[in-house]
Amino acid sequence: MKRAWSSFAAGVISLAMVVPGALSAQALADPTRPPGGDTPGATDEGAAAVSRLQSVLIAPGRRIAVIDGRAVALGGTIGDARVVRITETEVELKRGTESEILRLLAGTEKKLVRSRGSGVREAGGAKR
């Protein structure tokens, strides 16, 4: 009987240690989620929605852009806009006759610098 009681007590203690950890794990935020990505697609009714380009995937036969947390293929739609062009750094959206360009790294530009040796190098050092 003493052995059964100690096994039961060990089980209860183990359970008491595991349950709080499992419950608190539900409250953790995803550290890989982009800033402001807690409520995708949620905007104020009166405010104009500003789309944000987060990633692009370009492979033979397919082009995909991640806009506001949603993967959209070339020719697909996001809201009332159609994706008409996907490049390595930007996506063009069309809404009727209006066009909008989303840039992957808004505010940054690729610069070419001359090296002392031959050839032109990109700012990151890759020879071109």
CATH number (domain holding residue 67): 2.30.30
pLDDT tens track for 84-122: 999 999 999 999 999 999 998 866 676 777 777 655 555
Domain with 92, as residue range(s), is 50-128
pLDDT for 114: 77
CB contact at 8 A, 115 and 65:
no
pLDDT tens track for 30-40: 777 766 655 54
SS3 4: helix
pLDDT for 31: 72
pTM recorded for the entire structure: 0.49
What's the CA gap between 16 and 4, in Å, rounded?
Answer: 18
Query: How many domains does the chain divide into?
Result: 1
